């Protein structure tokens, strides 16, 4: 199920990565189906140990990796979906995920997106502002529907994660200030198209300690009790994203301890629990397979130039994120490289001063832990085609997205007559 060396050759499950490169070319994303299932089931088992399986729904956060095959794989495991756009709604439904298991999050849903979501009868829409609440009610009334909503509250806790992925502090754009929640639930009660059935929170991603979750969940539990005293029938709590993962030396929280915390803080409320893990389901199940294009000697440095770049995997340049690069043929590490992509940006750097085996043009490397927020963030910068994606299961592997061609990219461009 894991990715590792067998006889010095890097394998994902039972497939040598060089076989995938030979079949489909590089750069190419590879995902282990077994690992994705294992990660999902770890959540299910941890929560099942502390509550009945009817009392929680795991809504996989599609934005981490929304490939249809990945969504279908998770749907078959019983996952619902957390979506943040009309595009993700389309994907989730196409993958066969029931609307009754879909939660719609996001800070700026358009009228068209909300209309589609309301028509489909999603499980819940998470509301980010009073104007959005009013908009949802108006659309629902027009469509003769009643929509279950939860306000996403901002509990003003520090998630102690990267500044660009922290979302639960008062200066972040997300959620409504938890102090305004009573007024907003009172407002919701006056509106004919909505039923405020839940409270939602999501304080950020890649959390490697339980403390921030605990602080946020306690505030949410206090809010639920307050709202109930004010006469609101709160039946659901949405606890947001999952735990962090190991990219380098991070030690993620234990899922069983996480579940015990949920039991202690949330279960006494007698609500249905929703969690929306993304990164921890797919992150360590994926890698970006790439070939060395060139080894270039600078004045003081050796650059390992790959055929993968920041347009394929943005996290290093966007967040300064660490992704280990490992050779597909095992050898002792002895050379210090900067590992870079071919894009015309100094920020197109995967690693600085990293000790690796001596590598040469044509050698294969894997950029590890790239299953989450990898392919989904890719762009066509430098007119580089989006990489293909491959799903591995045991000895089987299949392309689950074809690589783009340059013609695909350019086909949407048009030259107006007055220029031609
Ligand atoms: C991004 C996001 C998630 C997923 O977070 P992970 O850290 O990937 O588990 C869940 N819920 C919401 C609202 C999000 O924006």
Residue numbers annotated as active site: 344
Q: Would you tell me how many other CB atoms lie within 10 Å of the CB of residue 214?
A: 16
Single residue among 280, 298, 324 that ends a domain in this structure: 280
Ligand 1 lined by 168 (C-beta under 6 Å): no
Instruction: Please tell me the total count of domains within the chain.
Output: 2
CATH number at residue 156: 3.20.20.10
Q: Residues 235, 92: one domain?
A: yes
Instruction: Place 339 in a pLDDT band, splitting at 50, 70 and 90.
Output: very high
Q: Residues 176, 232: one domain?
A: yes
- Whether residue 165 is predicted with pLDDT greater than 80 in this model: the reply is no
364 three-class SS: strand
Q: Report the C-alpha gap between 288 and 313 in whole angstroms.
A: 8
- Looking at residue 161, what is its pLDDT? 82
Instruction: Place 163 in a pLDDT band, splitting at 50, 70 and 90.
Output: confident
Q: Residues 189, 99: one domain?
A: yes
The half-sphere exposure of 386 on its side-chain side, counting CA atoms within 13 A, is 16
Determine the average pLDDT of the residues in 184-194: 98
Ligand 1 lined by 64 (C-beta under 6 Å): yes
Determine the average pLDDT of the residues in 255-259: 98
Domain that holds residue 18: 3-31+283-410
| Contact call for residues 208 and 253 (beta carbons, < 8 A) | yes
- Looking at residue 164, what is its pLDDT? 81
pLDDT in tens, 377-402: 999 999 999 999 999 999 999 999 99
Q: Residues 227, 355: one domain?
A: no
CATH number at residue 308: 2.40.37.10
Determine the average pLDDT of the residues in 147-156: 96
Kindly state the greatest CA–CA separation across the chain: 71
| Contact call for residues 236 and 198 (beta carbons, < 8 A) | yes
Q: Residues 130, 222: one domain?
A: yes
Q: Residues 366, 388: one domain?
A: yes
205 CA from centroid of ligand 1 (Å): 6
Please report whether residue 415 resides in a domain.
no
Chain-centroid distance, C-alpha 89: 15
Please report whether residue 420 resides in a domain.
no
Please report whether residue 419 resides in a domain.
no
Ligand 1, atom nearest to 152 Cα: 13
Q: Residues 209, 80: one domain?
A: yes
Instruction: Place 195 in a pLDDT band, splitting at 50, 70 and 90.
Output: very high
- Looking at residue 167, what is its pLDDT? 82
Q: Would you tell me how many other CB atoms lie within 10 Å of the CB of residue 161?
A: 20
Ligand 1, atom nearest to 206 Cα: 7
Please state, rounded to an integer, the average pLDDT across all residues of the chain: 97
204 CA from centroid of ligand 1 (Å): 7
* Helix 130-142, helix 111-120: angle, nearest 10: 50
Q: Residues 206, 296: one domain?
A: no
Instruction: Place 1 in a pLDDT band, splitting at 50, 70 and 90.
Output: low
């Amino acid at each position: 199920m894991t990715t590792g060396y067998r006889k010095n050759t890097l394998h994902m499950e039972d497939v040598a990565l060089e076989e995938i490169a030979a079949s489909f070319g590089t750069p190419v994303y590879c995902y282990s189906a077994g690992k994705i299932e294992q990660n999902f089931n770890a959540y299910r088992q941890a929560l099942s140990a502390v509550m009945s399986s009817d009392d929680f729904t795991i809504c996989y956060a599609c934005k981490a990796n929304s490939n249809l095959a990945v969504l279908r794989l998770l749907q078959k495991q019983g996952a619902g979906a957390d979506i943040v756009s009309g595009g993700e709604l389309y994907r989730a439904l196409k993958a066969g995920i029931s609307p009754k298991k879909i939660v719609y999050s996001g800070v700026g849903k358009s009228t068209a997106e909300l209309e589609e979501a309301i028509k489909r009868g999603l499980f819940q829409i998470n509301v980010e502002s009073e104007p959005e609440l009013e908009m949802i009610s108006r659309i629902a009334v027009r469509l003769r529907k009643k929509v279950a909503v939860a306000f996403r509250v901002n509990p003003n806790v520090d998630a102690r994660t990267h500044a660009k992925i922290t979302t639960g502090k008062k200066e972040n754009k997300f959620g409504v200030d938890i102090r305004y929640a009573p007024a907003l639930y009172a407002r919701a009660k006056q509106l004919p198209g909505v039923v405020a059935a839940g409270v939602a929170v999501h304080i950020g991603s890649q959390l490697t300690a339980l403390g921030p979750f605990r602080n946020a969940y306690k505030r949410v539990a206090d809010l639920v009790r307050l709202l109930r005293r004010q006469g609101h029938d709160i039946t659901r709590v949405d606890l947001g994203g999952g735990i962090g993962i190991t990219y380098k030396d991070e030690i993620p929280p234990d899922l069983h301890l996480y579940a015990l915390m949920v039991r202690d803080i949330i279960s006494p409320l007698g609500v249905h629990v929703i969690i929306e893990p993304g990164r921890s389901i797919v992150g360590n199940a994926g890698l970006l397979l790439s070939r060395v294009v060139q080894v270039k000697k600078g004045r003081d440095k050796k650059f390992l130039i790959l055929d993968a770049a920041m347009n394929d995997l943005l996290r290093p340049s966007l967040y300064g994120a660490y992704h280990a690069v490992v050779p597909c043929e095992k050898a002792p590490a002895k050379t210090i490289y900067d590992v870079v992509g071919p894009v015309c940006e100094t920020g197109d750097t995967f690693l600085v001063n990293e000790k690796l085996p001596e590598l040469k043009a044509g050698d294969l490397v894997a950029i590890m832990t790239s299953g989450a927020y990898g392919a989904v963030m890719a762009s066509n910068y430098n007119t580089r085609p989006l990489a293909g994606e491959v799903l591995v299961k045991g000895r089987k592997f299949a392309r689950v997205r074809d690589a783009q061609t340059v013609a695909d990219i350019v086909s949407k461009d048009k030259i107006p007559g007055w220029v031609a």
